[in-house]
Chains A and B, each alone.
Chain A
């Protein structure tokens, strides 16, 4: 996507280079929490119902590692081409906050589950490559609800520990991104990848996929990095884009004025359209990390890692390339059709059922996508289903119905389902493609529209439309229109 309007941030980037690195926290779609047996699906429970002594941090309890969470993190790390060291351990990150029941978060400090990965994606015409510093595993906190605005001025605060202990994967990106657009595309691709491999549901609003950014500016000539600012509170792709643009603009103005950037944490305030200082460096936490004594270190043997690698699905970029090679699609269509794993699977199932590759692509990206969106119902789960669509498109491909009929049937059957072939027979929707029958209708159309016929003969191509409509209406929309077109031209050229 290219930026059309010249924003102040874009203008600032002519003087300064922005250096952006993103940290993503993604909740894992495991059955249970990271260190106890409570459900990891916490959102539907009444406050503090989805808890146990372990995730409430009661005295005397101990954590037990969720193996599925380890596997999902390794899965992610492999999808991001990371190295998986043989040795890994958990550490305690110590700080006080009411939503952190133990007074420390079990996280990973110096020996993460994986390091040194990468992700590549297109932005505009160029390919952006962003390094992945590390992917590690930790536990989520509870949530706070304040009677009032924020904790500091609240008259009462409530804590809900339903989310406490949900497995949380932290993906730290290298500071390889240079624009807000890069950052947004990085997140779009990362989210797509996590959803593709089935480890995260990608919900930014509900916070199952969260993002913080580190951003600094430096003059175009400078080699060393500028002072970085951490930006938080961005809960949509749009917010990330706007927050980073605003921050680039703010930092550029500070630098332009000859002042220096303060190292600090700033929060994006959607309603004000700008970032606001939250915490300066002097108040930075000393987390006093040390190895978690309640959990022995883990040794991930290569057999385990290889088993996880073998279980990885084909990832979006590779799948899109294959769609181009195997199905003759253009790059854009291939990219759209592989944007989610479900869409790509649907497409390939349709083709396997005998629908022509290009036909399947056009219908899925066009009418089917519109209906899926309208009804909030994917084809796979719709009444018609993938098999129903393949039968419908089969009727079209074999010229037993025409395009408009196919479209009407699709709309009618999408939700409620039904056998397209039976309906075509029952209602006599079969395409009229008998030449003799159509020739008679063509003659009748010319006779009924002498002016249009004369106009066409006089070189006015558009006049043909009126004649074609006449035939179409005469067959109740069932005429083979390409054939009608040919017959009309033949007749009028005599």
Chain B
């Protein structure tokens, strides 16, 4: 069986019934990447040697314990280039980290490796995960497998595109304001952002610490749940990771939505939503109704200030998180005899325009005399937004909405920052409140994929999967293959 167009569950079965092996799967995957990457540029580098070692180890595990081996054993995965892997160059798509090779592997990635996953490469993304189109990568943009002239979304555009192009059944991304869900929506795959604190951030190159969360891309909700349950759980190395036990999302995955109360936030259907997207999402709501859920109109009035709140808090944290890229210890250094000039030149040549913009925004927001007006006020609004979700969730079990107001747009189409920031208007409140959210394919607008977002209260990650799975299984959208995947298969 080819890794192309297949799911983790199907591949896991083929690895156990002898119809495939981790090495075969790896070879097919790398050949597939060779065929697609010239069009998508989803990969910054493949990791053949590491993958071969891991595939051989997985093969031994599968031979010894075919039944008890984890479902991820022998499964190829791609990792967004903000995730540190011992001995593998990790750049966050930034020149400032050119040549940086971490001496350690992050927790979430290590958990995947411990479960036998095979790392095939590091995927392209917006520089330091800042962007919604993957056009901010220092190493060039990523083409959307549905139309390579269009963006795949961002910032985890490479991971989304790789899954959509049929390279790998799953990949990891990171989501700070929508960076998993929005590209999943634009590429027609499943993308899940866990509850803040569910997946360790140790080893994730930080953009905005209080918002960042690692999560999976996959071709089915069940696969996303499998990857999530592999990487989730408390990590003593991350003090913001939650110590409570993770409930297995697969246990109640098939319980359906009959009797569930689903909220439809009216604000999430405004804000420049494309008519085709609206149509697809409204059809999806009717499907959920048909499955026995009841729909309830709800209001999240603070949504309109979410964007400005986010664009104070995230840049503030980023301005501090990115201070370590100073040319002293690793990555790029532009030499100059004077220390201050070494700093200035390194950071000027090392960072791209969007990163500089956010570092400056954040530095300003935290500056003496402006802190109260910006950062402190933004934190208060953030609390209001979280409280608003809590109130709404007293009445409904989950929220359903579009993931992105539009489908994939042409590269170069959004050249002003504000219109680009609008891409995340219905995903970033979820990060501000620390909630779990998923994007699941729900149709097409103008031939391009549209995603349905499902949001649940904190730590109700399993409920997100359950609603998304019920919807997915009632429709055929997730079986649709991108033209690039079809061509390469």
Contacts and interface: CB of A to CB of B under 8 A. Distances in A.
Interface of A: 53, 56-65, 92, 94, 96, 98, 101-104, 151, 159, 286, 288-290, 293-296
Contact of B339 (A59, A60, A62, A151): A151
Interface string B100-117: 101110100000000000
A59 B102 contact: yes
Interface string B177-215: 000000000000000000000000111111011100000
A167 to B, nearest CB: 16
A286 B366 CA distance: 9
B202 A290 contact: no
B240 interface: yes
Nearest to A104: B320
Contacts, number: 102
Nearest to B83: A60
Interface centre among A57, A59, A102, A290 (most CB of B within 10 A): A59
Nearest to A287: B368
Given A103-B326, A104-B323, A293-B240, 4 more contacts: A57-B324, A59-B97, A96-B323, A293-B208
- Interface size band for B: 35 or more
A59 B84 contact: yes
B440 interface: no
Contacts of B84: 58-60
A333 B208 CA distance: 59
Nearest to B201: A62
Contact of A60 (B204, B208, B329, B367): B204
B237 A64 contact: yes
B38 interface: no
A53 B237 CA distance: 12
A96 B320 contact: no
Nearest to B200: A62
B92 interface: yes
B330 A58 contact: yes
A57 B329 CA distance: 9
Contacts of A289: 366
A76 to B, nearest CB: 23
**Residue among A58, A60, A294 with the highest chain B CB neighbour number at 10 A:** A60
A104 B209 CA distance: 14
A293 B212 CA distance: 11
Main secondary structure of the interface of B (DSSP, over half): loop
B321 to A, nearest CB: 9
Given A59-B84, A288-B367, A293 B324 contact: no
Contact of A288 (B102, B209, B324, B368): B368
Given A59-B324, A62-B201, A293 B209 contact: yes
A62 B103 CA distance: 15
Contacts of A159: 328-329
A98 B327 CA distance: 9
Contacts of A296: 239-240
Given A56-B329, A58-B102, A101-B324, A294 B368 contact: no
Nearest to A151: B339
Interface in B61-107: 82-84, 90, 92, 97, 100, 102-104, 106
B209 A294 contact: yes
Nearest to B376: A290
A293 B104 contact: no
B366 A62 contact: no
B228 interface: no
Interface in B216-271: 236-240
Contacts of B205: 59-60
Interface string B326-359: 1011100000000100010000000000000000
A288 B363 contact: yes
A102 B102 contact: no
B326 A96 contact: yes
A151 B342 CA distance: 13
4 closest residue pairs by CB, A with B: A103-B323, A293-B209, A288-B366, A293-B210
A296 B237 CA distance: 13
A101 B316 CA distance: 19
B317 interface: yes
A451 B329 CA distance: 88
Contact of B324 (A64, A65, A103, A294): A103
Contacts of A295: 239-240
16 contacts: A59-B97, A60-B204, A61-B104, A62-B239, A64-B237, A96-B323, A98-B326, A101-B324, A102-B323, A103-B323, A104-B320, A159-B329, A288-B319, A288-B320, A288-B366, A295-B240
A290 B102 contact: no
Nearest to A58: B102
A59 B103 contact: no
A171 to B, nearest CB: 25
A56 B326 CA distance: 13
A60 B320 contact: no
